[in-house]
Chains A and B, each alone.
Chain A
Amino acid sequence: MFLTVNEENYVHSGDGTIGALLAELGAKPEHSALTVNRDIVFSKDWKSFKLNDGDTVEVLTFVGGG
């Protein structure tokens, strides 16, 4: 499945669930927030959510800030 993840072309070889994508990226699910095609996908919906070919995904986390 071809995706854009954090503005880079990305080939996802899992089952298209959020969990599979985060595992592939090495991102901890409990430390990640997510948008797909600019819409927020809340963690409560991750299990039922399926990514589609061509989706644009943003994976976000906390960094230092004032």
Chain B
Amino acid sequence: MLTLGNIEFKSRLILGTGKFSDTETMVKAIEASGTELVTVALRRFNRDKPDDDLCAPLARLKGITLMPNTSGAMNAKEAIRAAQLGRELSGSSFVKVEIHPNPHHLMPDAIETYLAAKELAADGFIVLPYIPADPVLAKKLEDVGCAAVMPLGAAIGSGGGLSTAEMIKLIIRDSNIPVIVDAGLRAPSEAARAMEMGCDACLVNSAIAAARDPSAMAKAFALGVETGFAARQAGLMPKSEIAVASSPLTSFLGK
């Protein structure tokens, strides 16, 4: 079980809801993934497109908890405000703190993220911050009461994979809270690798939404996460610098 705050989840795959071609495709992908936690963003109501809001289709899904993000916030103050509005709408205390002021690379602002996470955790939110893969920052976020840390694998939407693997390993080594890879994953094999390394969950959006068949890719990611976690539980064999024969190197035939 993945425990975030005081809530337990069977699935270790968290889905983002952005970039899907239409709502129905998104709903089917969520169902196919088996996820129990999905992220949503807060934006201004569009009078010209009143049906754009995701509340109705998401409310139809059973067993799904919403985690509003704070995207669009440029600093801690704006993120805190977004989190409060998100809680008001979702009825959920989960918040993905996401502050990335530069639209070119969308790298998280570590300082503002820390300030927002600290205040929101103190205010009773279940805080999951999206962060650079920085083990020092991750530990500080644990100390102020975050429910998990979510280091990036690569830039948001880039499909760059698990480019920060070595840093994420350092985060996992010292962390007493779940470590969730968020952003950058492109292939289910990368999700499996993250789980084998010791991650507790993966958050995936673009790789599923931009796949030719999003539902099939959602299922593939679910299997990748499950496989990687099962492999870690099973215990990977130690690595060796040289060959280690599977059979004795004595008593050959004809000798």
Contacts and interface: CB of A to CB of B under 8 A. Distances in A.
Interface residues of A, number: 23
Nearest to B47: A25
A40 interface: yes
Contacts of B16: 64-66
A61 B82 CA distance: 11
A9 interface: no
Contact of B45 (A59, A64, A66): A59
B55 A65 contact: no
Nearest to B156: A66
Instruction: Give the one of A58, A61, A65 with max B CB within 10 A.
Output: A65
Given A66-B16, A66-B183, A6 B45 contact: yes
A58 to B, nearest CB: 6
Given A25-B45, A25-B47, A40-B88, A63 B53 contact: yes
B198 to A, nearest CB: 23
Interface in A14-66: 25-28, 30-33, 35, 40, 42-43, 58-66
Q: Max chain B CB contacts within 10 Å: which of A27, A31, A33, A43?
A: A33
Interface of B: 16-20, 26, 39-45, 47, 50, 52-56, 58, 66, 68-69, 71, 81, 84-86, 88-90, 156-157, 183, 203, 205-206
Given A33-B85, A65-B42, 17 more contacts: A25-B47, A26-B50, A31-B55, A31-B56, A35-B81, A43-B88, A58-B44, A60-B85, A61-B89, A62-B41, A62-B58, A64-B17, A65-B40, A65-B41, A65-B71, A66-B18, A66-B156
